[in-house]
């Protein structure tokens, strides 16, 4: 069957309709072009800003401080995370509410009060008819902050910050110091080692793709890693507490102005305990007099008195102006340059050997011994010992001791005479510890320090040797007799060889001596293998019969007993007192 094709007749386009289509298309093109111009030109900066907010996020600069721990990693200071709570009532909205609904302040308070443990009426009073920017509370714990977050109430903002906390209170305050309410270091190690303790991390932008994936940028490795380091101290908290309790009891009993006690390793200068009394609570530093914030053990100076006599005897032995088995006559007083110098009890001791000079603390004997040493050489020795120089340490910046000018010391005979028994010059307690450590370790200089990384941060200069090993050993043996037979007998512990020297010096004021005293005692142990030096200084005990033997020695004994247990120091098996007799 034959098929026929359908013929379609072409009808010319209506002129009006064509014009309308053309105009409509032109309008669309122009509109799109106008939109493009508005986006690319007029709204470019705003769109760019919005894009950056979506594509990148900023990490805030970390404003924190490293923790401080003792040698057993026990916390001494750390940053405690806390929160501030801000309210914006005009945005109050609960989960599930419509966007336009605004909850009342009373409704929000009803949910907040139980978490914050505050009465409703007190919390309501904080709003004070404001619509925004109301600080409700600070120092909110992480636990409470988490509960507030879980409420998911719009219009509540939590701001996280750190507050320094000192869990051991007054035990370390004079050593560690504190950080004030503005997070600024204000005393002690916190201030002196501020650049080492504070953590400085820069703010950074993290770039992200549309799906949130981090994109490569110029951030350095570790820019976003938290700092978990801590400042480690050489201090032992158990010994620190034992020393603090012993010193506090004695300062209180003798109604003294203040006291200081230190235990140091004589071979490396590591400080195992360092306490001062009175102390303060660094968590509430604003309650205390600023005088307490001072590290007087390295900044204040005192005349060491008789505790310096072993040092002088070492100088005399080094210069060979005396011999180990020599004697000196002590008639109780001696005239030097028109001045009469006498013993502490105004009594003479006759002909005595040098160990006896230390046992009875003979001033006259020391004057006569040191008169054998040329004043020029004597002064040079004192200078070489660093009497008038700053002590390099990681503690407070130390005060240099005071030593008379060389011309005065050499030309005025009274100066070397009084220096022979620790008068006429002054040093810090910390310097005295250093010198006695040198006597104990064979004559070598060590630097007192409390941080375990101290040696990494100072120049590694070769050790200076003050005294020969032979002289150091001799002096230590002489000091042992002070504990066995002399004024230091109160510190004797059966089975342990302990060397020591007491000191009682009058305080000078405006060039003349007053009735105020400084009582001290320095001990080294064990004599058969010297490892530790212990110094106790009690300033201005106000009761009668205050001497180094009565005031400082009892404190040292308690500290040494604790030290023996903590450090597991074995007794000397050669000590006759340790021999067990067969039944």
Q: C-alpha 473: how far from its chain's center?
A: 34
Cα 256 to Cα 250: distance, rounded to the nearest angstrom: 8
Q: How far apart are CA 441 and CA 309, in angstroms?
A: 18
Please, what sign has the CA dihedral across residues 127, 128, 134, 138? Answer: negative
Instruction: Count the helix, strand and coil residues of the chain and give each as a percent rounded to the nearest 5.
Output: 40, 20, 40
Integer Cα distance of 246 and 66 in angstroms? 31
Handedness of CA 445, 376, 372, 400 (dihedral sign): negative
End-to-end Cα distance, the chain: 147
Q: Cα dist. 75→79, 176, 178 in Å?
A: 11, 12, 14
Q: How far apart are CA 556 and CA 572, in angstroms?
A: 20
* Cis previous bond, 121, omega within 30: no
Q: Catalytic: which of 237, 243, 298, 306?
A: 306
Catalytic status, residue 306: yes
Alpha-carbon gap, residue 581 to 415, rounded angstroms: 54
**Pick from 215, 279, 206, 213: nearest CA to 241:** 279
Q: How far is CA 201 from the centre of its chain?
A: 23
Cis omega (within 30 of 0) for bond into 526:
yes
Contact 168, 175 (CB under 8 A): no
Q: Indicate which residues carry an active-site annotation.
A: 306
């Amino acid at each position: 069957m034959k098929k026929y094709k359908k013929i379609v007749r072409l009808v010319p386009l209506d002129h009006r309709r064509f014009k309308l289509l053309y105009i409509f298309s032109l309008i669309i093109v122009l509109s799109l072009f106008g939109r493009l111009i508005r986006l690319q030109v007029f709204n470019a900066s705003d769109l760019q800003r919005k894009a950056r907010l979506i594509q990148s996020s900023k990490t805030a600069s970390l404003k924190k401080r490293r923790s401080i721990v003792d040698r057993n990693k026990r916390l001494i200071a750390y940053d405690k995370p806390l929160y501030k709570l801000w309210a914006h009532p005009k945005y109050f909205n609960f989960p599930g509410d419509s966007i336009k609904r605004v909850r009342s302040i009373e409704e929000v308070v009803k949910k907040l009060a139980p978490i914050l443990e505050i009465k409703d009426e007190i919390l309501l009073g904080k709003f004070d008819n404001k619509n925004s920017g109301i600080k409700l509370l600070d120092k909110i714990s992480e636990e409470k902050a988490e509960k507030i977050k879980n409420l998911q109430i719009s219009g509540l903002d939590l701001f996280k910050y750190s507050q320094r906390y000192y869990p051991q209170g007054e035990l370390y305050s004079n050593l560690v110091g504190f950080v004030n309410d503005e997070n600024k270091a204000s005393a002690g190690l916190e201030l002196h080692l501020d650049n080492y303790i504070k953590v400085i991390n820069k703010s950074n932008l993290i770039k992200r793709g549309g799906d949130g994936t981090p994109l490569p940028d110029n951030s350095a490795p570790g820019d976003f890693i938290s700092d978990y380091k801590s400042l480690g101290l050489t201090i032992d908290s158990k010994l620190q507490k034992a020393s603090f309790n012993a010193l506090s009891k004695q300062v209180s009993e003798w109604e003294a102005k203040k006291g200081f006690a230190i235990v140091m390793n004589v071979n490396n200068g590591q400080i195992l305990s360092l306490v001062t009394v009175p102390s303060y609570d660094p968590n509430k530093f604003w309650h205390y007099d600023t005088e307490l914030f001072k590290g007087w053990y390295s900044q204040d100076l005192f005349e060491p008195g008789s505790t310096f006599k072993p040092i002088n005897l070492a100088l005399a032995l080094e210069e060979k102006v005396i011999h180990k088995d020599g004697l000196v006559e002590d008639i109780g007083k001696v005239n030097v340059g028109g001045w009469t110098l006498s013993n502490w009890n105004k009594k003479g001791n006759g002909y005595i050997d040098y160990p006896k000079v230390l046992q009875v603390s003979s001033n006259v004997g020391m004057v006569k011994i040191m008169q054998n040493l040329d004043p020029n050489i004597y002064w040079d020795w004192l200078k070489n010992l660093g009497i008038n120089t700053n002590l390099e340490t990681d503690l407070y910046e130390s005060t240099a001791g005071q030593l008379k000018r060389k011309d005065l010391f050499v030309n005025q005979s009274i100066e070397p005479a009084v220096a022979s028994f620790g008068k006429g010059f002054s040093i810090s307690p910390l310097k005295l510890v250093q010198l006695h450590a040198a006597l104990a370790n064979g004559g070598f200089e060590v630097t007192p320090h409390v941080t375990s990384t101290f040696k990494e941060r100072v120049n590694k200069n070769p050790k200076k040797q003050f005294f020969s090993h032979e002289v150091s050993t001799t002096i230590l043996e002489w000091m042992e007799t002070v504990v066995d037979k002399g004024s230091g007998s109160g510190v004797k512990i059966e089975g342990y060889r302990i060397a020591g020297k007491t000191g009682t010096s009058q305080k000078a004021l405006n060039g003349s001596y007053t009735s105020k005293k400084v009582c001290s005692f320095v001990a080294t142990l064990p004599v058969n293998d010297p490892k530790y030096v212990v110094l106790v200084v009690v300033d201005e005990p106000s009761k009668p019969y205050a001497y180094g033997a009565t005031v400082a020695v009892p404190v040292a004994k308690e500290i040494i007993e604790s030290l023996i247990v903590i450090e597991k120091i074995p007794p000397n098996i050669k000590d006759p007192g340790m021999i067990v007799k067969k039944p």
